[in-house]
A and B are shown apart, each in its own frame.
Chain A
Amino acid sequence: MNTKLQVLVIDDDAVVGRSFDRVLSEKGYEVSTALSGEEALDSINEHDYDVVFTDIKMPGMDGLEVTERIKSRCPWTPVVVITGYGTQENEARASVLGANGFVRKPLTPEMIENITLKTVSDAAKAEVPAQDVEHMVEEPEAVNVNEAEAPKRANSMAKNIGLFFASPFIALGYVIALPFVGFYMFAKLGHEAYSKRHTNS
């Protein structure tokens, strides 16, 4: 099997998606990210994913609703719920909705790799004869990392370094803009309060 395993990470915090991408890309997975449940469901309509990770607490549709919708559309897709707000109640709800795993932040690179491998392996065991499972799970690590991934990694490193050295200038822009944005927000709040009072009277 030459195609890479497809992973979708749903989290409104882009840092989480980037972390998964950084860890799993090196292991031969293709990682896509979505910043909201709605965006993820659109993406799932167009692509098949081998594993989906979703945060629970997100603006709009939360991770549990996303899990429910994914499981109703394509129940064969493994879904792992990740959250910084792990409770027994959430675990139980995620389980009832059909989630294949539940894990609490913070996630280390090793955890990300192990969870992905375990979830893909479990899903593969459920769908194919036993002798094929090992083959399916081990392939993504071996094939693409050194050849096709090399230019991608070089690009990613150049982008990382570019952002690193651009950061103080972007930060200076934010520092200059901060009082203006603050003033705008105060003015907006004042205007809304005035309008509300005016309407009521």
Chain B
Amino acid sequence: MSTGHSGQKELEGWIKPPNPELYINPLPVRIWHWLNALGFVVLILTGIQIRYANLFNVLSFETAVKTHNWVAFTVIANYFVWLGFYLFSDKITVYHPELNMRKFFDKAFKQIIYYSYGIFRGEKSPHKVQPYDKFNPMQSITYQIVMLLVVPIQFITGIMMWDIKRFEAPIAFLGGIRSVDTVHVLIFIFFVSFTMIHAYMGALGHTPSAHFKEMFTGYEEE
């Protein structure tokens, strides 16, 4: 039996990874990401125009509403690209929760200390990005809540307000149009903040453009 006692000769046959780069973001995720980013920017801008029509008038109210609706349905359809990819691929584990609470809090506090202190001293992130473990604990809980809770709520409230008459009953069930509208606007404010923070965090790679480049190539840079 070959047990590796013969030193150098044994090392020759050992297998090494051919490429040091990591393929983290497959094509469907990248397509979804950039379409979603573009859609969100348009939704935010047209949303501001619809909500604050009396403050400025870049688009007519009617054009803003029509654009908002069409882009919203495109973003909803795009969401199902994302959902389908993760549901039917082994990458679904990227969105799995950490069930070991001790391990989660240990890693989460290390990440918080890194974000609040270590990052400004040029230290390396305590989280090592891997194809099946691409999010650090803080990203993980944020994206789980955003993608599987906040985004669907925004879609549902948006669809209800798109055709108030048709969705009269569910709107009444949720406390009336004022409640549905409030939820939609609060989530809109959240997304404005999220988009800015997301872009800022995206610029914190080893070079300012590293993470942006990764979302085009799919490969994590080491």
Contact = CB atoms under 8 A, between A and B. Distances in A.
Q: Do A and B bind each other?
A: yes
Interface of A: 13-15, 18-19, 22, 71, 75-76, 84, 91-92, 94-109, 111, 114-115, 118, 122-123, 125-127, 160-161, 163-172, 174-175, 177-178, 181-182, 185
Interface residues of B, number: 42
A69 B7 CA distance: 19
A22 B90 contact: yes
B66 interface: no
Contact of B1 (A22, A76, A106, A174): A76
A78 B131 CA distance: 27
Contacts of B147: 168
Nearest to A88: B11
A111 B93 contact: no
Contacts of A15: 93, 130, 132-133
Interface of B: 1-5, 7, 10-11, 14-17, 22-23, 86-87, 90, 92-93, 95-97, 99-100, 104-105, 108-109, 112, 128, 130-133, 140-142, 144-145, 147-149
Given A95-B10, A103-B17, 10 more contacts: A18-B132, A91-B14, A102-B14, A106-B131, A123-B2, A126-B2, A163-B96, A168-B149, A181-B109, A185-B109
B90 A111 contact: no
Nearest to A22: B90
Contacts of B149: 168-169, 172
The A contact surface, by secondary structure, is helix
A178 B108 contact: yes
Contacts of A182: 109, 112
Contacts of B130: 15, 105-106
Given A15-B133, A104-B16, A165 B104 contact: no
A173 to B, nearest CB: 9
A167 B94 CA distance: 11
